[in-house]
Amino acid sequence: MKKYSWLTPVSILIFVVGTLIFLSPIFVPEDVNWPIKQKLKLGLDLRGGTQIVLTVVTKDLPEADRAAAVENNIRIIRNRIDQFGIAEPTIQKMGESDILVQLPGVKDPIAAENLIMKSAVLEFKLVAEPDIAEKFINQVDAIIQENLDKFPILAKLAAEDKALAKAETDTVKAGEGVFKSLITTMDRDLAVRYEDLEIVRSLLQDSTFVNLKPKGYDLVLESVDEKKKASREPVILYVLESTAQLKGTDVDRASMEIGPSDSPSPQIANKPYISLTFTRAGARKFANCTGDNIGRRLAIVLDNTVYSAPVIQDRIPDGKAMITGQFTEQEAKSLAILLNNESLSAPIEPKYSTQVSATLGEDSIQSGLKAGLIGILAVIIFMIIFYKGAGLIADFVLVFNVGFILAAMTLFGGTLTMPGIAGIILTIGMAVDANVLIFERIKEELDAGRPPTSALDAGFKRATVTILDSNLTTLIAALVLYQFGTGPVRGFALTLTIGIIGSMFCAIVFCRYIMEKTMIRPGKTTMSI
């Protein structure tokens, strides 16, 4: 043990500093640029949050399936919110087909709304060969030219072009319609100028256009990220085969990952991407598709936007793929969540979203805090009466223990609710237990006539076994509850786990260190305990 005598003070230092670091945002005012942003979230009962009311559109479903579709959507939404890391939400069915969602502490309801409502349709489609793509564009151009009256915006554009052509004579090539004039090229691809993006986008979504365009191929735009927005580069327009080679249902698991900084591929080096693992059937399809189409390009299409279209180099037999793109970490994470969960059973429309207050009134929160303080104070006094000097040390360490619980909850993204606070207060009562076990043991040893030094040592040694056994049993239970539980059970398990670890460390290491440093002096025969 002597060999590792530095271990104890170092671990205590880490414990104290770590606690202070993660608690610091509570004390730093909002406008100061402090490196640690994460703050302990307060639950709906303490602070309120955002309420979003959604309607499930069930009119296209048979009467008998409607209720089940709403229930199913609630379940899917619950999973999505859960995986997004928002703890302790409220999700309830309201009326016949509305869903009421309350999210604690969410400042950006739009992002939450997007996550909840997105469908995330994933498809893998082959990119048409250049000659076929050109033919297709020409066909589309001709069709639009014939039906120009059905597309008022394009008609207006065509009229402007004509006026311009007259003024400057020529330049508009013969046989080229207004649609082709919107298309330019970028490297090997067709593209749309940034300024024309909205025109093309609305055209592609126009149902008249969708009905008129030749079958077999589709026009799909690539995703527009922040960088593109800033530089106003042209946006690639892909001509894709209409039949999807693989779909979202072929994906077994999706996860957000960050590429290693030494990765040879610039698309993933240091960047978030989504890694996909296909199901058995999906892996077979993917192997066949890549094997049959070496040299062609396979577009990864998510919600009708192309994220990337890599060239197939070789047959890929292992059933793995990745979606790269200019994702932020948050986007990649939400997309992975969406891909992991089944799609919504019926589309959802937002009804309204609004801020909601805490469910506990100001008075209730105040009295809860007051009760907590009284409880803690009682415990502190209790310890001093029973264990004098040792009790005082235990009280001192207890303060850090409470700080540690709050800091650890901040770190793990826990949400503090009123029952959570009560749970912490209770943990305090129980944290004292470890100290009681040790002190009682030391008293027994002193009674047996041992001098303080060896009584302290023996007391700690014996009590440590007891503390480990009893706390580990509870810890195992807490970890199992965390693994298998959902919602509030999980939140409870997290608080319990943190509380157990904190109180074990405080009693066995922290408290012992201070006691050894302050209570043991050579020649002293009594002990304040």
| Sites for other proteins among residues 456-475 (CB under 8 A) | 462, 465-466, 469-474
Q: Is 149 helix (H, G, I), strand (E, B) or coil?
A: helix
Q: Is 185 helix (H, G, I), strand (E, B) or coil?
A: strand
Residue whose tokens read 């509030």: 488
Q: How far apart are CA 449 and CA 458, in angstroms?
A: 12
| 87 is a contact residue toward other proteins (CB under 8 A) | no
Stretches 18-26, 259-267, 283-291, 431-439: which one binds other proteins (CB under 8 A)?
Answer: 431-439
Q: Please, are residues 274 and 255 in contact by the beta-carbon 8 Å criterion?
A: yes
Distances (CA, A) of 407 to 261, 401, 487: 30, 10, 21
Q: How far apart are CA 258 and CA 266, in angstroms?
A: 12
Q: How far apart are CA 80 and CA 342, in angstroms?
A: 10
Q: How far apart are CA 153 and CA 169, in angstroms?
A: 23
Among positions 474-503, residues that touch other proteins (CB under 8 A) are: 474, 476-478, 480-481, 483-489, 492-493, 496
Among positions 40-59, residues that touch other proteins (CB under 8 A) are: 44, 48, 51
In terms of CB distance, is 39 or 443 closer to other proteins?
A: 443
Distances (CA, A) of 264 to 270, 308, 316: 11, 17, 19
Contact pattern from residue 62 through residue 81 relative to other proteins, giving x for each residue in contact according to CB under 8 A and a dash for the rest: ------------xx------
| 371 is a contact residue toward other proteins (CB under 8 A) | yes
| 436 is a contact residue toward other proteins (CB under 8 A) | yes
CB of 467 to other proteins, least distance (A): 9
Stretches 20-28, 87-95, 134-142, 180-188: which one binds other proteins (CB under 8 A)?
Answer: 87-95
- Three-state secondary structure string covering 404-431: HHHHHHHHCCCEECHHHHHHHHHHHHHH
Among positions 249-308, residues that touch other proteins (CB under 8 A) are: none
| 9 is a contact residue toward other proteins (CB under 8 A) | no
In terms of CB distance, is 244 or 426 closer to other proteins?
A: 426
Contact pattern from residue 386 through residue 425 relative to other proteins, giving x for each residue in contact according to CB under 8 A and a dash for the rest: x-------------------------------xx--xx-x
CB of 102 to other proteins, least distance (A): 9
In terms of CB distance, is 323 or 467 closer to other proteins?
A: 467
Binding other proteins by CB under 8 A: which of 57, 61, 312, 430? 430
CB of 468 to other proteins, least distance (A): 9
DSSP string computed for 292-317:
HTTTSBEEEEETTEEEE--B--S---
